[in-house]
Amino acid sequence: MGSLFSALNSASSALTAFERAVDVTQENVANANTPGYAAQDPTIEALQFGPNGLSGGVVEETQDSRNPQADAAVQQQLSLVGQFQQLQTSLQPLETVFDVSSSSPIPSALTQLFQSFSQWSSQPSSADYQTAVIDAAQQTASAFQQAAAQLASIQNSNAQDIQSAVAQINQDATEVQAYNVAMMHTGAPDAGLSAKLESSLENLSNYANVQLLPGVGGTVTVLLGGQTPLVIGDQVDALKVEPAAAAESGAPNIAILDSNGNDVTSQVTSGSLSALLNVQNTVLPSLAGGGQQAGALNTLAQSVADTVNNLLEQGSTTSTQPYQAGTPLFTYTANQATGVAASLAVNPAITPSQLAAVQTGPPLVSNGVALQLAALDNAPQGALNGQSFTQYFATLVSQVGNAAGNAATSATAQQQVLTQAQTLQQQLSGVSLDDEAVQLVQLQSAYQAASKVVTIVDQMTQDLMNMVPA
């Protein structure tokens, strides 16, 4: 009877093990599409028989198939994809401002301005042509004002995106903290918690470059840039966004601070936050100005205004003495280099008759200044690195276009690398419905076999009981 009970005990443990293995398989199938979920592998192990013959049987132990190296590779590629995709998105509005098409405001206005100078040079005393010059100058000023307003709007929008990105990073860090707290209380592996952790880490990686380190009791530590703690145990060290002081030499427009107020901007080297900071602190100041940079748009606007004004002030409105000096055509805020384009305007005091077309010489040329102004279209300007106005603007267009094109190319290439990393991750840790179906059939067959053993042992026990005399 002892041997029969031992066999019954072994069969019973087998039934329990196979039942638990079936539950694990069903859980895998149910979570096949759950973000971050790694397949759980049910393993059936035999127990050793003891000397008395009453031990033995089988047990089920669940193994987590998660591969930390594959997960880390996916997180790294997500950071790079997030960086280039965000850079591509952030640069697109700039391509609208810096456009060389015929409908682009600045090139169109400059062309109209130089054409008006050319027409005026043919009849310097014509009130109609003089008025046309002032009208063209007004269009030029408006074009620069519009571009400056667009850049300011892009700056504000980009700054808001940085705030949103940091808020999302802090939220993801809080979710990692919740995982750590749960692990501190339970201490036991949990596939559901592990899936949530991986999902949070992948979301976090899309925004910034982070490093994951194993902690005590199954907890994890998350570092920004491998240096700044975001999560340690049950503590979250939230990041903050702070505009840099405008008077501070070399300071970026926006800085990222850790929970202690230390500037960690330089540690954000990938992810969408990195792209946003690059646009806000480098690209936009080079165009619109900021910190110690006047900005290319302001440089162009000031060069146009100063060059035109200087020629007009050197000329005369009369061809006879006493010569009447010309009046400046443009005005702008001279004490703020970053505000030239936004403040560029036609001199409100000028009248058509105050436009000085006469070059006093010697020799005197009645339309000399007007001819010089008309020739500015292709004239190299020292303030613009030896380029003409239109060439300088075309250079800006090329710089913005190339940057956007490179970002798009890099985003496409990096997406392919990410897809490869995710494929490998799926192969190592993902759920294969085909494999789970095969395993389920095997487990059901094993369960039925163990049930058959129980039935046979029960029948043998009954037979033995019946053989015992009453």
Mark the ranges of the chain whose per-residue pLDDT is less than 70. 1-24, 26-28, 30-33, 38-40, 42-64, 102, 244-252, 430-436, 438-440, 442-443, 446-447, 450, 453-454, 457-458, 464, 470
User: How many structural domains does the chain have?
Assistant: 2
Domain assignment present for residue 324? The answer is: no
Structure-block tokens of residue 314: 């050197």
61 lies in the same domain as 78? no
Domain assignment present for residue 361? The answer is: no
Using alpha carbons, select from 276, 285, 302, 108 the residue that is nearest to residue 206. Answer: 276
39 lies in the same domain as 78? no
CB count within 10 Å of CB 414 equals 20
191 lies in the same domain as 49? no
Gap between the terminal Cα atoms of the chain: 18
| DSSP state letters, 202-252 | HHHHHHS-EEEEE-GGG-EEEEETTTEEEEETTEE---EEEEPPTTSTT--
32 lies in the same domain as 165? no
Give the model's pLDDT for residue 117: 96
Domain assignment present for residue 418? The answer is: yes
55 lies in the same domain as 185? no
104 lies in the same domain as 190? yes
Q: Distance between CA atoms of 409 and 227, rounded to whole angstroms? A: 30
Domain assignment present for residue 102? The answer is: yes
Task: Give SS3 for 132.
Answer: helix
Looking from the CA of 225 toward its CB, the CA atoms found within 13 Å total: 15
- The answer to whether 315 and 357 have CB atoms below 8 angstroms apart is yes
Domain assignment present for residue 212? The answer is: yes
- The answer to whether 138 and 346 have CB atoms below 8 angstroms apart is yes
Point out which residues pair with 224 in neighbouring strands.
210, 228
Q: Which domain holds residue 55?
A: 2-65+430-467
Q: What is the pTM of this model?
A: 0.84
Crossing angle of the two packed helices 191-207 and 127-186, in degrees rounded to 10: 160
282 lies in the same domain as 258? yes
Residue whose entry in the numeric block shows the structure tokens 């005990």: 9
Give the model's pLDDT for residue 4: 58
Domain assignment present for residue 394? The answer is: yes
- The answer to whether 222 and 235 have CB atoms below 8 angstroms apart is no
- The answer to whether 294 and 342 have CB atoms below 8 angstroms apart is no
| DSSP state letters, 346-413 | E-TT--GGG---BB--SSPBTTHHHHHHHGGGG--BGGGTTB-HHHHHHHHHHHHHHHHHHHHHHHHH
Using alpha carbons, select from 169, 105, 90 the residue that is nearest to residue 141. Answer: 105
40 lies in the same domain as 113? no
Q: Counting Cβ atoms within 10 Å, is residue 378 exposed (0-12), middle (13-18) or buried (19+)?
A: exposed
Task: Tell me which amino acid residue 359 is.
Answer: Q
Q: Are strands 240-243 and 58-64 parallel, antiparallel or unpaired?
A: unpaired
186 lies in the same domain as 279? yes
Q: Distance between CA atoms of 221 and 230, rounded to whole angstroms? A: 8
Domain assignment present for residue 446? The answer is: yes
224 lies in the same domain as 273? yes
Q: Distance between CA atoms of 449 and 384, rounded to whole angstroms? A: 87
| Cα distances (angstroms) measured from residue 110 to each of 192, 314, 351 | 63, 22, 21
pLDDT (tens digit, 9 = 90+) per residue, 239-273?
999 986 543 434 458 999 999 999 999 999 999 99
Domain assignment present for residue 196? The answer is: yes
Using alpha carbons, select from 331, 245, 257, 256 the residue that is nearest to residue 290. Answer: 245
Q: CA-based Rg of the chain, rounded to a whole angstrom? A: 38
55 lies in the same domain as 77? no
57 lies in the same domain as 129? no
Using alpha carbons, select from 346, 253, 329 the residue that is nearest to residue 295. Answer: 253
φ/ψ (deg, to 5) at 316? -135, 150
